[in-house]
Amino acid sequence: GVQHAIVTAGTLEESRLALELVRRQRAGGCPVRLHSTVGVHPTRCLDFLPEAERAEIEAAMAAAADGGGGGEETLAAIEAEVLARPSVMAAIEAHAQALRRLLSQGREEGLVAAIGECGLDYDRLHFCPRLVQRAGFAAQLGLATEGGPPLFLHNRAARGEFAAMCKERRGAVGAAGGVVHSFDGDAAELEQLLSLGLDIGINGCSLKTEANLAVAARVPLGRLHLETDAPWCGVGEI
């Protein structure tokens, strides 16, 4: 039967709550041993910003979605300007340091299994735009260290940008290791990620097409993780 399970956090606050849940569960003597992650999901990376700048970005997102305000190019320009502000850079660093402290505390107690779930998700930009996601991901890649917990990585429709960001932090990423879950990329991206020392997670979303199946077959068995990502990514017929 199941002996271990991971409670996946998506925000700083969820990371705190996940750690508390694991503490309570272990104190209660449950036969399934829980662990937690610490990190911010790409769709939640607006949490890195101060409230005023978050509202500014959200207003620009709404304008772009309505077809006004100059569209995606204007949104990207506003993102870039906001992210370059010293106060915003300081807020992102402060959020990363809060994650680091929580990660350190959880590790000391033996509760943390991974950093994450972090990465890029360009399929759901209505939750968080590209440049803010990149800033949040970069901050969390900075948490990776040799001997530390591995990275639990999310990569949806970002393709080359995700691999490029991991490559920029090759030393830290390779030292920490990790898994790119729900992988649905092509063979070239697979080879890039494997070369960085990352493992590959496969679920139903990874097996939707014949092309997906061909790529999945290339994953070395020793680097393959099978996952459910329930209830969203079950295995169906092709």
Q: In the numeric block, which tokens belong to residue 36?
A: 């937690």
Chain-centroid distance, C-alpha 54: 20
Residue 229 assigned to a binding site: yes
Residue 181 assigned to a binding site: yes
Asked if 144 contacts 172 with a C-beta cutoff of 8 angstroms, the reply is: yes
Question: What does the alpha-carbon distance between residue 158 and residue 181 come to, in Å, rounded to a whole number?
Answer: 14
Question: What does the alpha-carbon distance between residue 98 and residue 90 come to, in Å, rounded to a whole number?
Answer: 12
DSSP for 117-129, please give it.
EEEEESS-TTTS-
Q: Which of 49, 40, 21, 234 is nearest to 153 (CA)?
A: 40
Can you list the pairs that 61-69 forms with residues at least 24 positions away whose Cβ atoms lie under 8 Å? 61/126, 61/129, 65/126
Q: Does a cis peptide bond (omega within 30 degrees of 0) precede residue 50?
A: no
Residue 225 assigned to a binding site: no
Local structure of 10: helix, strand or coil: coil
Residue 4 assigned to a binding site: no
**Which residues carry a binding-site annotation for a divalent metal cation?**
117, 154, 181, 229
**Which residues carry a binding-site annotation?**
117, 154, 181, 229
